[in-house]
Amino acid sequence: MQNKIKEAKSNMLGIYFSGTGNTKYCIDKFVKNIESDAKILSIESENIKEELLNNKDIVFAYPIYYSSLPKIVRDFILNNKDLFKNKNVFIIATMGLFSGDGAGCSARILKKYGANIMGGLQVKMPDCIADVKALKRSKEENKQIILKAESKIINAAQKYKNNAPTKEGLSIIYHIAGLVGQRLWFYNKTKEYSSKLKVDNNKCTKCNRCISLCPMNNLKVIDNKINTKNKCTMCYRCITNCPAKAITLLGKNVIEQNNINNYIN
Ligand SMILES: Cc1cc2nc3c(=O)[nH]c(=O)nc-3n(C[C@H](O)[C@H](O)[C@H](O)COP(=O)(O)O)c2cc1C
């Protein structure tokens, strides 16, 4: 029995934040290609601390916002810094186009708190910014992106199993690319939570889906209207899942709600 518990505790654990599903899809593929019965858990899960405490080999995944960590992810690391000490951490960063050192962004902080950084992987996925036209692609192009992402993930999982994990996003060259490519100009965008989320209460059908989905409890009903507070982590989950397309953040209208299921098969 003792041995059995010990064995279970040495399993790999995947922990992630995913606003609209891309990152969850990637970490699931990576981890299951290494250990078919490995668990993946969102950082929003109630038992995340306990699971983190009980597992040594961690895969940590998140999307990149403006070549930086989403505020919710940075805060998660800072609030749980002691739990990362001596963990073996492999990092996956997902992005719409370019992140420079997406994986390095958390690697540097985690290393400071005593984690052993095993490797990194940066995966291009469909763009999740539902209300900005810039990175919108056709359904066929997004299907191709997912196919490429899958083969990259499977390759990286194989390398991890062979004890030669990929190191994408971790070196100084990536660091400079992340800084010069975006972070020097956009760092302020993810420094604090945003107060810019807007709900068009004329379009809103009061289904309250946004309220239940928000990882930050940033939305609430006041006088039969959905109101937003100033704690938006910009994950686009509410915007992507609003049936009335009534919520916006960076743009004025919802153009395309990211749904990975539209691009698989
Ligand atoms: C506020 C915001 C900023 C983003 N900035 C970048 C960026 O700098 N570079 C990039 O390639 N993708 C960027 N993206 C796209 C996401 O990183 C990408 O679509 C990611 O896979 C979404 O993952 P998720 O579905 O797990 O939330 C950004 C997305 C958001 C919402």
Q: What would you measure as the largest C-alpha separation in the chain, in angstroms? A: 60
pLDDT of residue 187: 77
> Could you tell me the distance, in angstroms and rounded to a whole number, from the CA of residue 173 to the centre of ligand 1?
21
pLDDT of residue 2: 43
Give the model confidence (pLDDT) of 145-173 as tens digits. Answer: 999 999 999 999 999 999 999 999 999 99
Question: Domain tally for the chain?
Answer: 2
Mutating to test ligand 1, I would choose from 66, 146, 240 the residue with most ligand atoms within 8 A of its C-beta, which is: 66
Instruction: Please report the atom of ligand 1 found closest to the CA of residue 26.
Output: 26
- Clarify whether residues 78 and 179 are in a common domain: yes
pLDDT of residue 92: 98
- Clarify whether residues 170 and 203 are in a common domain: no
Any idea what the CATH number is for the domain that residue 53 is in?
3.40.50.360
Given a cut of 90, is residue 184 above it in pLDDT? no
Domain-embedded: residue 121: yes
Give the model confidence (pLDDT) of 49-94 as tens digits. Answer: 999 999 999 999 999 999 999 999 999 999 999 999 999 999 999 9
Domain-embedded: residue 70: yes
Domain range holding 218? 198-254
Strand pairing report for 219-222 and 12-16:
unpaired
Tokens standing for residue 46: 């109630």
Please spell the DSSP secondary structure of 84-150, one letter per residue.
GTT-EEEEEEEESS--SSHHHHHHHHHHHTT-EEEEEEEEE-----TT--TT---HHHHHHHHHHHH
- Clarify whether residues 78 and 165 are in a common domain: yes
pLDDT of residue 8: 39
pLDDT of residue 180: 86
Closest CA to 207 of 235, 233, 246: 246
**pLDDT class of 10 with cuts at 50, 70, 90:** low
Q: Whose CA is nearest to atom 8 of ligand 1?
A: 66
